[in-house]
Amino acid sequence: MVSIVSMAVNLGGIHMNNPVNTASGTFGHAWQFEGFYDVARLGAVTCKGVAAEPWPGNPAPRVCEVSSGILNSVGLENPGARAFAEQYGDYLGELSSRGCAVIVQAVGHSVDECRRSVELLDEVAPWAAGIEVNISCPNLARGGRLLGGTPEDAQEVVSAVRSLTKKPLLVKLAPARVGEIARACEAAGADALSLVNTVNAMSINVHTRRSRLSRPTGGLSGPAIHPIAVRMVWEAAQAVSIPINGIGGVATGEDAAEMILAGATTVSVGTANLYDPAAASRVLDELEAWAVEQGVSNINELIGAFEC
């Protein structure tokens, strides 16, 4: 389809040819999807979270289906920053050269671990267009509460990593107190926000009376959380002036359009990739068709255009 609408956007200094991104943890390291379509047609991909050192993740079962979504308790298994770059850097650098922005995600179980992850990723991933810091991880040094579960904690993490990279810094928020925490991240120097992460939930096998995951609870994603995510994107957009990457149950172009109208500059396709490997490409086509239907010349005209 030949576009008559400019789809290019700027996510806090990350220049994207269109607003469609992929959610961390649902798209592998992008090469796995090349057999389904040209991944470079997407505006960006966000890689699976990477720590400074390898993480083994949680025991199986890690994922189960529930009504209108999935529960996961993967535990952010990853090979560590250096091994990640060695294994996937050549492909991701080449993908970047083809016009798709590559965003790497830093994770940690403490502020110091986040610092080390950002520091290493800045060093070993020169091809990355930006670094996303996931502040939804449990802070093991502080009893397991979320790293960024309060405005004060969020500001501490962002302040600690901001000086470690000159790349655009995104912060991924948990689905709680998003307005307050968004403001704290902006004040600490975040260039953009990604929201929301999964919603804490649980599912019980009534025959065994045990969790359907290896742990009592997991993160709920998929269509079930989409209306929650749209509301939280809107709340964050009212609170800050930096751009927002909207995440949560985006499976169609209309889902993506809702996010943009609520105030998101970009959107990430997540769980939909797991049951439809061509989902992100299809969402892009549908989103572009919607923008044409709206009669605008530039997709940016529709950001935050929701009318109460």
Which sequence positions are flagged as catalytic?
137
- Burial of 204-236, coded b for 16+ CB within 10 Å and e otherwise, reads eeeeeeebbbeeeebbbbbbbbbeebbebbbbb
One-letter amino acid for residue 260 of the chain: I
Cα–Cα distance between 254 and 252 in angstroms, integer? Answer: 5
Burial of 163 (0-12, 13-18, 19+ CB in 10 A): exposed
Q: Quote the Cα angle for 168-195-246, to 5°.
A: 85
Structure tokens at 65: 């289906």
Q: What letter would DSSP give residue 263?
A: T
218-221 and 199-201 beta bridge pairing: antiparallel
Nearest-CA neighbor of 135 among 80, 174, 179? 174
